[in-house]
């Protein structure tokens, strides 16, 4: 997605060889117009799949997920990283390690919102080692539902998550795929492809 | 906002005289179509105010805020409740007590995203004692910007937040105002008004 790659080049800050900061439009400040375009792109990619529900994780996955949900005409569930007093029902639980926050999170989804007949699209902001995505897959499976695909805003293709998920048979659609962050520069997998063409 | 009151009556669960659970469309599962309508209503209410930025707080404020931001043509910032490794800049900090989660949260916004010339609309999902709203006001003020208004999805009018904020001179626009939750029933301030008419 060209507009996203350009935004990352213009506004992304490379903190280290492994960490890209996109706080100006995705992870802290949100650009609603870009989020709408991202949501539309996810909807376009998965519109033929009969998606009945989107599952994401708080907080940065919510914006892209709601715009995709609006366009696909389905509801969005965000997994919680912390238990709320009002989240008291039968819970689907999984454990996710966050490298960015250096902590283990128990993520939870109330079982009443995912049924066995659901065809679920998982959406998240980043895909690195795939911890969050695998946690969400585990939750969807515990509900007896089907994971139809995984939509990612920014994939760090130099980490193992995308490949592992594809090896497990999942369709992964990442709107920007980062090949490397070395020397403080963002290089996209897509750049390479374009050069070859 | 009639469609919101109807949704609360249909799907809201009264957990106690003080706690309303709306996990089916706002706080856990999200109804994107309703969120779009809510965002449009905030935009309509504040469109004459020259809003330049929306500030909300993760996680449930994000959906209504991004739709309002899209329609007002402004960016949205969500305050973080927990420090991220990638949130390393000069931080605007405030302390907020959550009665729902029974804990004190330090909320943070990176100072680079709010400037002195900003005219800020604060948006949040619930207004009860006003703790979150006051924390967000403190952060906006620390940035030297102006709080133009406060948009709330569901106001618990029987708690002190709304009145206190209005006494402080803020314009508070709540799309549903709950008069009481006694006897397991949701009664709206708006119901009373309609009976009189």
For the stretch B63-94, what's the b/e string if a residue is b when 16 or more beta carbons lie within 10 angstroms of its beta carbon? bbbbbbbbbbebbbbbbbbeebebbebebbeb
ipTM of the complex: 0.94
Return the residue of B nearest to A112 by Cα: B24
Q: Given an 8 Å threshold on Cβ–Cβ distance, is A24 in contact with B113?
A: yes
Binding region of B for xanthine: 20, 27, 156
Cβ-based contacts of B109 with chain A (< 8 Å): 28
- 3-class secondary-structure state, position A158: coil
Cβ-based contacts of B66 with chain A (< 8 Å): 30, 32, 35, 63, 66-67
Please give the Cα distance from B163 to B170 (Å, whole number). 10
Domain annotation for chain A: domains and CATH numbers = 2-196 (3.40.50.2020)
Average predicted confidence (pLDDT) for chain B? 93
DSSP structural state of residue A117: T
Taking the Cβ of residue A62 and every Cβ of chain B, the question of whether any pair is shorter than 8 Å is answered with yes
Q: Which residue has the higher pLDDT, A2 or B85?
A: A2
In tens digits, chain B (197 residues) has pLDDT values of 999 999 999 999 999 999 999 999 999 999 999 999 999 999 999 999 999 999 999 999 999 999 999 999 999 999 998 766 665 668 999 999 877 778 888 999 999 999 999 999 999 999 999 999 999 999 999 999 999 999 999 999 999 999 999 999 999 999 999 999 999 999 999 886 555 54
Average predicted confidence (pLDDT) for chain A? 93
Cβ-based contacts of B59 with chain A (< 8 Å): 58-59, 62, 78, 80
Q: Given an 8 Å threshold on Cβ–Cβ distance, is B109 in contact with A33?
A: no
Please give the Cα distance from A117 to B41 (Å, whole number). 34
Do strands B119-127 and B53-57 pair parallel, antiparallel, or not at all (unpaired)?
parallel
Taking the Cβ of residue A187 and every Cβ of chain B, the question of whether any pair is shorter than 8 Å is answered with no
Taking the Cβ of residue A63 and every Cβ of chain B, the question of whether any pair is shorter than 8 Å is answered with yes
Please give the Cα distance from A133 to A147 (Å, whole number). 11
For residues A134-148, average pLDDT: 98
DSSP structural state of residue A80: B
Taking the Cβ of residue B36 and every Cβ of chain A, the question of whether any pair is shorter than 8 Å is answered with yes
Please give the Cα distance from A171 to A184 (Å, whole number). 30
For residues A74-85, average pLDDT: 86
- The confidence score (pLDDT) of residue A79 equals 97
Q: From the list A59, A63, A86, which residue is nearest B27 (CB)?
A: A86
pLDDT at A88 over 90: no
pLDDT at A13 over 70: yes
Per-residue confidence band for A64, with pLDDT thresholds at 50, 70 and 90:
very high
Residue by residue, DSSP assigns B174-185 as EEEEEEE-GGG-
Candidates A76, A136, A125; CA nearest to B26 is: A76
Residues 6 or more apart whose CB falls under 8 angstroms from that of A186 comprise A8, A9, A12, A14, A20, A178
Please give the Cα distance from A26 to A89 (Å, whole number). 31
User: What is the number of CB-based contacts under 8 A between chain A and chain B?
Assistant: 124
Q: Given an 8 Å threshold on Cβ–Cβ distance, is B28 in contact with A80?
A: yes
Taking chain A, what is the end-to-end CA distance rounded to the nearest angstrom?
Answer: 17
Widest Cα–Cα separation across chain B = 55
Residues 6 or more apart whose CB falls under 8 angstroms from that of B102 comprise A85
Cβ-based contacts of B34 with chain A (< 8 Å): none
For an interface test with B, the pick among A84, A105, A132 (most B C-beta atoms closer than 10 Å) comes out as A84
Backbone angles phi, psi at B53, to 5 degrees: -160, 145
Per-residue confidence band for A194, with pLDDT thresholds at 50, 70 and 90:
low
- 3-class secondary-structure state, position B53: strand
Instruction: Please report, for residues A25, A59, B59, B153, the alpha-carbon distance to residue B126 in angstroms, rounded to integers and kept in the order given.
Output: 25, 17, 12, 6
Give A168-186 pLDDT, tens digit per residue: 999 999 999 999 999 999 9
- Give the helix/strand (H/E) hosting A35: helix A32-46
Contact (Cβ atoms closer than 8 angstroms) between residue B164 and residue B185: no
Using CB atoms within 10 Å of the CB of residue B141, give its burial: 0 to 12 exposed, 13 to 18 middle, 19+ buried: middle
pLDDT at A197 over 60: no
Using CB atoms within 10 Å of the CB of residue B169, give its burial: 0 to 12 exposed, 13 to 18 middle, 19+ buried: exposed
Please give the Cα distance from A116 to A153 (Å, whole number). 27
Q: Given an 8 Å threshold on Cβ–Cβ distance, is A66 in contact with B63?
A: yes
- The confidence score (pLDDT) of residue B69 equals 98
- The confidence score (pLDDT) of residue A104 equals 87
- Give the helix/strand (H/E) hosting A110: strand A103-110
Binding region of B for 5-phospho-alpha-D-ribose 1-diphosphate: 128-132
Taking the Cβ of residue A77 and every Cβ of chain B, the question of whether any pair is shorter than 8 Å is answered with yes
């Amino acid at each position: 997605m060209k507009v996203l790659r350009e935004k990352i080049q213009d506004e992304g800050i490379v903190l280290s060889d492994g960490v890209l900061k996109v706080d100006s439009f995705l992870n802290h400040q949100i650009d609603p117009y870009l989020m709408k375009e991202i949501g539309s792109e996810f909807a376009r990619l998965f519109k033929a799949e009969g998606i009945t529900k989107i599952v994401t994780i708080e907080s940065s996955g919510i914006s892209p997920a709601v715009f995709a949900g609006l366009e696909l005409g389905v509801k969005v569930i965000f997994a919680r990283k912390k238990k709320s007093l009002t989240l008291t029902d039968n819970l689907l639980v999984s454990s996710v390690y966050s490298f960015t926050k250096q902590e283990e999170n128990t993520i939870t989804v109330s079982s009443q919102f995912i049924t066995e007949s659901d065809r679920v699209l998982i959406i998240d902001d980043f895909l690195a080692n795939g911890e969050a995505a695998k946690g969400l897959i585990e939750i969807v499976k515990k509900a007896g539902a089907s994971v139809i695909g995984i939509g990612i805003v920014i994939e760090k293709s130099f980490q193992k998550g995308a490949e592992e998920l594809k090896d497990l048979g999942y369709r992964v659609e990442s709107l920007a795929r980062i090949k490397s962050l070395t020397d403080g520069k963002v290089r996209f997998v897509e750049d390479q492809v374009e050069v070859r063409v």
